[in-house]
């Protein structure tokens, strides 16, 4: 029996304990040596009274009776970091669902695990119940990965799906998501794209570089998306998703989280509501799509439990071992590649406005593929939405800057990449 300490008795911690207390495989592989949380006497969906209680999480992390420390408290600094470091320094294995911690400190923690002979597992940190870490580090270990992309934040996907289905505004749907418990009271981490970025940094490490690199990522959130964008995208045969993507670009890996127009038949285009999806393009396997629930007690506990089962079988491998861990890839600059784009502008209701837009684009070598002018909202707000043919993004941005320096464009434009 693997001797396991559990720090954090919230959604995920209680989900894991429920599996240990059930009669499935985890109940036969694991015994709980101690637990901790902020508050001891709190009503919880599982009974933890039989376990040793630790007021000090760091003491639990270093407890001599424990083989594996399971960190389910959250946060990239403070107690989560202190406990994981303490457990690894004590030569223990660690299992965590904490993407923020690993995005910021994954490389240092991996070095600590290697130095002290411990393991650090994090299947639950990416896409909840979808076993994508296993897919990359085991099933695809001998492939060359060309791209990994996914819908990795259920809150954003829920909001975009609702906006698309009902035509309601972002703020309206966000408020509803908060009242239903699908979004945090402070939703910044989710809607800014940072949470998806934390997860993407781990996928990028496994697929390409062997170490998480959150810092060089291009992050764009969903707050600027309006019903008009979803409506226009649908009219043109696209769906808008917050797409997290890491891809090979020569010798570099380029990582971004951006609202993106996906052709309706793309495997991710129909992933709706709180679901997550990951699509991997690799050689020689081709394209693989994984879909499932990205959050919640059951899916996330399933991923934690999978790591515990592996450890109970004595499985050992370097923390970011995957197809990318053998080669060195530099960080490329996202936002400089050639691609097709969607651009939404609001312009003044005056003669010559369309010519001004098309001339600015032509001056920078941007060819238009489709062009839609919507009815004026008022005298200063005539929406124009267009899609481009393939163009280097900096050229398109230069054209947008020219337009913004004139008097035609009345609001900051919205630019989104298109994936076919
Ligand atoms: N929820 C999900 O669906 C999901 C999915 C994927 C990954 N994750 C990750 O899993 C981790 C846990 O998430 P969760 O949703 O289970 O969180 P949660 O429901 O808020 O639970 C957090 C638990 O940690 C305890 N805790 C927090 N700070 C602590 C501290 N300084 N010292 C001791 N205990 C502390 C809390 O104690 P009290 O009970 O006393 O408040 C609570 O039991 C996070 O890293 C999260 O990002 C969650």
Question: What's the CA dihedral at 112, 83, 185, 157 to 10 degrees?
Answer: 40
pLDDT in tens, 163-220: 999 999 999 999 999 998 888 999 999 999 999 999 999 999 999 988 999 999 999 9
Cis-peptide into 118, omega within 30 deg: no
For the chain, the distance separating the N- and C-terminal CA atoms, rounded to the nearest angstrom, is 49
Q: Is 256 exposed, middle or buried (CB count within 10 Å of its CB: 0-12, 13-18, 19+)?
A: buried
Buried b or exposed e, range 41-63, using 16+ CB within 10 angstroms: eeebebebeebeebeebbebbbb
Tell me the mean pLDDT in the region 369-391: 94
Q: Where are the alpha helices (DSSP H) in 149-296?
A: 154-166, 170-179, 188-191, 194-204, 227-235
CA contacts within 13 A on the Cβ side of 264 = 7
Cα of 5 vs centre of ligand 1, distance in Å, is 15
- Is the pLDDT assigned to residue 328 strictly greater than 70? no
Residues 323, 136 contacting (CB under 8 angstroms): yes
The residues, any chain, with a CB within 8 Å of residue 10's CB and separated by 6 or more, are 37, 72, 73
Task: Flag whether pLDDT at 384 surpasses 90.
Answer: yes
Average confidence score pLDDT of the chain: 95
Residue 11 near ligand 1, beta carbon < 6 Å: yes
Residues labelled catalytic? 199
pLDDT at 274: 85
Percentage of the chain modeled with pLDDT above 70: 99
Sign, CA torsion 34/55/81/217: positive
* pLDDT, greater one: 124 or 182: 124
Q: Does the structure show a pLDDT above 80 at 254?
A: yes
Q: Catalogue the E-assigned strands of 264-403.
A: 275-283, 286-293, 330-331, 338-347, 368-373, 382-388, 391-392
Question: 267 vs 264, 281, 289, CA distance in Å?
Answer: 8, 12, 7
Say whether pTM exceeds 0.85.
Answer: yes
Give per-residue pLDDT as tens, 105-123: 999 999 999 999 999 999 9
Q: Which of 7, 12, 83, 98 to mutate to test the pocket of ligand 1 (most atoms within 8 A of CB)?
A: 12
- Kindly state if the Cβ of 79 falls inside 6 Å of ligand 1: yes
- Mean pLDDT for 339-351 is 95
Q: What is the Å distance from ligand 1's center to 96 Cα?
A: 11
Confidence of residue 65 (pLDDT cuts 50, 70, 90): very high
Residue 102 in this model has a pLDDT that exceeds 80: yes
Report the atom number in ligand 1 closest to the C-alpha of 44.
39
Q: How do residues 224-252 score in pLDDT, each as one tens digit?
A: 999 999 999 999 999 999 999 999 998 89
Distances (CA, A) of 49 to 3, 27, 34, 35: 17, 17, 10, 10
Length of the chain measured in residues: 420
Lowest-pLDDT choice from 264-273, 324-333, 372-381? 324-333
Cα of 60 vs centre of ligand 1, distance in Å, is 16
Label residue 322 by pLDDT band (50, 70, 90).
confident
Q: How far apart are CA 313 and CA 307, in angstroms?
A: 10
């Amino acid at each position: 029996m693997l001797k396991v300490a559990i720090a954090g008795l919230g959604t995920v911690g209680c989900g894991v304990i429920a599996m240990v207390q059930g009669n499935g495989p985890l109940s036969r592989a694991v015994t709980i040596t101690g637990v901790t949380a902020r508050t001891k006497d709190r009503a919880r969906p599982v009974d933890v009274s039989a376990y040793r209680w630790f007021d000090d999480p760091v003491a639990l992390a270093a407890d001599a009776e424990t083989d594996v420390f399971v960190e389910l408290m959250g946060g990239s600094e403070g107690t989560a970091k202190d406990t994981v470091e303490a457990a690894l320094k004590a030569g223990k294995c660690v299992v965590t669902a904490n993407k923020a911690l690993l995005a910021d400190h994954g490389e240092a923690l991996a070095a600590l695990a290697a130095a002290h002979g411990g393991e650090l597992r994090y299947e639950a940190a990416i896409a909840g119940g979808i076993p994508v870490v296993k897919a990359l580090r085991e099933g695809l270990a001998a492939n060359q990965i060309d791209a990994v992309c996914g819908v990795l934040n259920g809150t954003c996907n829920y909001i975009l799906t609702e906006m698309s289905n009902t035509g309601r505004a972002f703020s309206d749907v966000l408020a509803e998501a908060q009242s239903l418990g699908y979004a945090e009271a402070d939703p910044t981490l989710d809607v800014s794209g940072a949470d998806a970025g934390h997860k993407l940094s781990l996928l990028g490490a496994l697929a390409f570089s062997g170490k998480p690199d959150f810092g060089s990522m291009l992050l764009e959130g969903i707050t600027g998306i309006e019903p008009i964008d979803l409506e226009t995208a649908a009219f043109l045969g696209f769906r808008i998703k917050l797409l997290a993507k890491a891809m090979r670009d020569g010798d570099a890996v380029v990582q971004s989280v951006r609202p993106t127009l996906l052709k309706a038949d793309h495997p991710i285009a129909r992933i709706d509501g709180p679901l997550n999806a990951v699509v991997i393009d690799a050689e020689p396997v081709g394209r693989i799509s994984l879909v499932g629930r990205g959050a919640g007690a059951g899916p996330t506990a399933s991923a934690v439990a999978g790591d515990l089962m592996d450890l109970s079988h004595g499985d050992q491998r370097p923390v970011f071992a995957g197809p990318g861990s053998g080669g060195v890839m530099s960080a490329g600059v996202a936002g400089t590649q050639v691609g097709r784009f969607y651009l939404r502008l609001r312009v003044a209701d005056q003669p010559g406005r369309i010519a001004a837009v098309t001339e600015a684009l032509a001056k920078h070598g941007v060819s238009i593929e489709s062009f839609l002018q919507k009815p004026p909202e008022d005298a200063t707000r005539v929406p124009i939405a267009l899609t481009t043919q393939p163009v280097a993004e900096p050229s398109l941005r230069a054209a947008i800057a020219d337009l913004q320096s004139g008097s035609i464009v009345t609001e900051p434009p919205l630019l989104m990449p298109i994936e076919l």
